[in-house]
Amino acid sequence: MQDWTGHCAIVTGGASGLGAATAERLAGNGMRVALFDMNAEKGEAHAARIGGRFVRVDVSDPASVAAGLDAATEAFGTPRVLVNCAGIGGAAKTVSRGQAHDFGLFEKTLRVNLMGSFNCASQAAARMVAAQAVDADGARGVIVNTASVAAFDGQVGQVAYSASKGGIVGMTLPMARDLADKGIRVCTVAPGLFLTPLLDELPAEVQASLGAQVPFPSRLGAPAEYAAIVAHITENSMLNGEVIRLDGAIRMAPR
């Protein structure tokens, strides 16, 4: 098992939802947590609540991520854990009312979700590589990405989102292989339906009907349940190169 107590963790999208819960959990485990997010108001407030540090970062911009990593390193030391939770949704069909899917929307979705995750992972890994190993295995760090069940069973209107999440699934094993001799593990969690601000805004009956689609337990997942698996991944040295569905056995229908 790996013990990252006192080390720096970075959680992107840490101002909200799954990222906020993960930041809180890692801070509770004794990590020093930097939140990378675009939402400064929520990010500052959450960082203050958990004793972390907010840094305004656009994950899709390499210079912004480099500056964020500098700030996090200065505050808390070399990042040893990176959790990529920043992401955007959006729904559009390949062709709708005779019009092709907006190319800019497709590009933006991939840029934030896929390239943003790669950008943070590759830059954080470069810093981890330069740090001392922390145990006899030669462990230097852990990267956890967030895909979605939409990577496997994308619904009507999810072509861009599913492509971005499928890309995250696809890069998990080669990234783990690339970084194996550096002592850095890489895993991806593919969540099903979780109750985050995104779904929070839906009427209670819509939330209930979404939850009822989950075989067991028949409810929406709690962000703390996502955070718990991330915490376990950070600690369990044998988890590497794997994509883990966290979804109560749901398989999404076409629509």
Query: Does residue 24 bind ligand NAD (CB under 6 A)?
Result: no
Shorter beta-carbon distance to ligand NAD: residue 16 or 240:
16
The reply to whether 161 belongs to the active site is yes
What is the nearest approach in angstroms of ligand NAD to the Cβ of residue 201?
Answer: 10
What is the nearest approach in angstroms of ligand NAD to the Cβ of residue 132?
Answer: 29
Considering 36, 106, 161, 226, which one is annotated as catalytic?
Answer: 161
Query: Does residue 85 bind ligand NAD (CB under 6 A)?
Result: yes
Number of chain residues interacting with ligand NAD (CB under 6 A) = 29
Considering only 56-64, 129-137, 208-216, 234-242, which stretch makes contact with ligand NAD by CB under 6 A? 56-64
Parallel, antiparallel, or unpaired for β 8-12 and 32-37?
parallel
Query: Does residue 116 bind ligand NAD (CB under 6 A)?
Result: yes
What is the nearest approach in angstroms of ligand NAD to the Cβ of residue 239?
Answer: 19
Phi, psi of 154, deg, nearest 5: -65, 140
Query: Does residue 193 bind ligand NAD (CB under 6 A)?
Result: yes
Query: Does residue 210 bind ligand NAD (CB under 6 A)?
Result: no
The token duo for 238 is 């044998």
Query: Does residue 87 bind ligand NAD (CB under 6 A)?
Result: yes
Query: Does residue 248 bind ligand NAD (CB under 6 A)?
Result: no
What is the nearest approach in angstroms of ligand NAD to the Cβ of residue 115?
Answer: 10
Shorter beta-carbon distance to ligand NAD: residue 8 or 112:
112
What is the nearest approach in angstroms of ligand NAD to the Cβ of residue 180?
Answer: 25
Query: Does residue 59 bind ligand NAD (CB under 6 A)?
Result: yes
Tell me the CB-side half-sphere exposure of residue 168, using CA atoms within 13 A: 39
Query: Does residue 37 bind ligand NAD (CB under 6 A)?
Result: yes
Please name the residue that has the structure tokens 């072509």. 159
Q: What region does 157 belong to: left with phi over 0, alpha with psi -120 to 50, or beta? A: left
- Interface residue with ligand NAD among 52, 68, 79, 191 (CB under 6 A) is 191
The token duo for 246 is 């966290």
Any idea which residues carry the catalytic annotation?
161
Instruction: Name the site residues for ligand NAD (rule: CB under 6 A).
Output: 12-13, 15-19, 36-39, 57-60, 85-88, 112, 116, 146, 148, 191, 193-194, 196-198
